[in-house]
């Protein structure tokens, strides 16, 4: 993956990288403590939409291809350099001590962090086995070490990430007690609707029964009234014949 350079973003557009799932679901990739000097820890933290949570993907110009890097805001960069300190404009996530340069903490941070400590870098003995042969130490030596920010110009120390797209088709969801109560209330509402429908249907049947009963009564009345008339007509005809 690469960030295409733009007119106002020479290193390419930056975005937040969020975690999916787990206890920190929705949290963002973050440079610990907004650290601008080398040695910022890679961590997951609640999203704040600040520069230290905005990352680009190296395109081989300002950062090696496959890298994840953050860019120091121009005003912050100007302030740091005005104090006579060396500050890289782009910081990549990498392995401390893997490249050609060893980084030391700034004077105000010397008691806080040591980038050459065992938590960050392998021992000199492990590294020299490869450097004496003119080889770059393999990344496996940093298997249990922290990834930290380093200048993107130190290409050998920058970690290349492999981006694998995927589609999360199904997310397992565990119902909480509140969800169960809401679900029960929905079922109760549905039951009430069904009962109301059944009552309305019974009323419709009762109305139809009443109509049919009225029709039968009219038919009976008509028949009863018609029979005497027929007998009367027959008697009148018999008397006339006589």
User: Is residue 109 domain-shared with residue 41, that is, in the same domain?
Assistant: yes
User: Is residue 108 domain-shared with residue 203, that is, in the same domain?
Assistant: no
Residue range of the domain that includes 61:
28-157
Helices (H) and strands (E) in the chain, counts: 3, 6
At CA 29, angle to CA 175 and CA 95, rounded to 5?
Answer: 130
The predicted pLDDT at position 6 comes to 76
Is residue 8 in some structural domain?
no
Is residue 12 in some structural domain?
no
Of 41, 45, 14, nearest to 28 by C-alpha is 45
Give the tens place of pLDDT for each residue, 146-194. 889 999 999 999 999 888 777 766 555 565 666 656 656 665 655 555 5
User: Is residue 130 domain-shared with residue 182, that is, in the same domain?
Assistant: no
What is the rounded CA–CA span in Å between residue 46 and residue 115? 25
* pLDDT under 70: residue ranges of the chain: 105-112, 168-242
DSSP string, 44-110: EE----SGGG-BEE--SSSS-TT-EEEE--HHHHHHHHHTT----SEEEEE-TTSSS------GGGT
- The model's pTM: 0.62
What's the gap between Cα 37 and its chain centre? 31
């Amino acid at each position: 993956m690469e960030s295409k350079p733009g007119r106002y973003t020479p290193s390419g557009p930056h975005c937040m990288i969020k975690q999916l799932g787990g206890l920190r679901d929705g949290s963002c990739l973050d440079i610990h403590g907004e650290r601008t000097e080398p040695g910022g820890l890679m961590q997951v933290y609640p999203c704040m939409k600040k520069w230290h949570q905005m990352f680009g993907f190296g395109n081989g110009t300002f950062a090696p291809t496959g890298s994840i890097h953050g860019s120091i805001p121009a005003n912050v960069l100007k302030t740091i350099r005005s104090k006579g300190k060396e500050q890289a404009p782009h910081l990549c996530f990498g392995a401390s001590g893997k490249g050609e340069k060893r980084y030391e903490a700034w004077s105000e941070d010397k008691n806080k962090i040591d980038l050459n400590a065992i938590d960050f870098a392998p021992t000199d003995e492990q590294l020299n086995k490869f450097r004496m042969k003119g080889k770059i130490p393999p990344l496996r030596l940093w298997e249990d070490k922290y990834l930290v920010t380093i200048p993107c110009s130190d290409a050998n120390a920058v970690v290349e990430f492999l981006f694998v797209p995927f589609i999360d088709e199904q997310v397992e969801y565990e119902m909480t007690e509140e969800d169960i109560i809401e679900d029960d209330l929905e079922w109760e509402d549905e039951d009430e609707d069904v009962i109301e429908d059944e009552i309305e249907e019974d009323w419709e049947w009762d109305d139809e029964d009443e109509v049919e009963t009225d029709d039968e009564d009219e038919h009976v009345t008509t028949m009863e009234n018609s029979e005497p008339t027929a007998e009367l007509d027959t008697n009148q005809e018999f008397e006339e014949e006589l």
